[in-house]
Amino acid sequence: MKLGRMNHLGYAVPDMDTAIAHYRDVMGAEVITEPFDLPEQGVKVCFVNTPGHDGTEGTQVELLSPLDENSPVAGFIAKNPLGGQHHVCFEVPDIGAAREYFEGVGKRILGPTRIGAHGTPIFFVHPKDMLGMLTEIMETPKNGPAH
Ligand X SMILES: CC[C@H](C(=O)O)C(=O)SCCNC(=O)CCNC(=O)[C@H](O)C(C)(C)COP(=O)(O)OP(=O)(O)OC[C@H]1O[C@@H](n2cnc3c(N)ncnc32)[C@H](O)[C@@H]1OP(=O)(O)O
> Where do contacts with ligand X occur on this chain (CB under 6 A)?
10, 38, 41, 43, 62, 64, 72-73, 75-76, 86-87, 89, 110, 116-118, 122, 124, 127-128, 132, 134, 136
Instruction: Report the SS3 class of residue 78.
Output: helix
The enclosing H or E element of 96 equals: helix 95-104
If binding is defined by CB under 5 A, does position 10 make contact with Co ion?
A: yes
Q: Which is nearer to ligand X, 56 or 70 (CB)?
A: 70
Minimum distance, C-beta of residue 62 to Co ion, in the bound complex (Å): 5
C-beta of 19: minimal distance to ligand X in Å? Answer: 14
CB–CB of 42/70 below 8 Å?
A: yes
Q: In sequence order, what are the beta bridge partners of 61?
A: 9, 48
Residues 30-69 that bind Co ion (CB under 5 A): 62
* Residue whose Cβ sits closest to Co ion: 10
Select from 7-15, 67-75, 103-111, 123-131 the region that touches Co ion (CB under 5 A). 7-15
Number of Cβ within 10 Å of residue 112's Cβ equals: 8
124 contact choice in Co ion, ligand X, none (CB below 5 to 8 Å, kind-dependent)? ligand X
With respect to ligand X, which residue has the nearer C-beta, 12 or 29?
12
Q: How far apart are alpha carbons 12 and 4 in whole angstroms?
A: 23
Q: CA 87, CA 132: separation in Å to the nearest integer?
A: 10
The amino acid that residue 66 corresponds to is P
For residues 85 and 122, give the distance between their C-alpha atoms in angstroms, rounded to a whole number. Answer: 19
Question: Does 89 engage in binding with Co ion (CB under 5 A)?
Answer: yes
Residues forming the site for Co ion (CB under 5 A): 10, 62, 89, 136
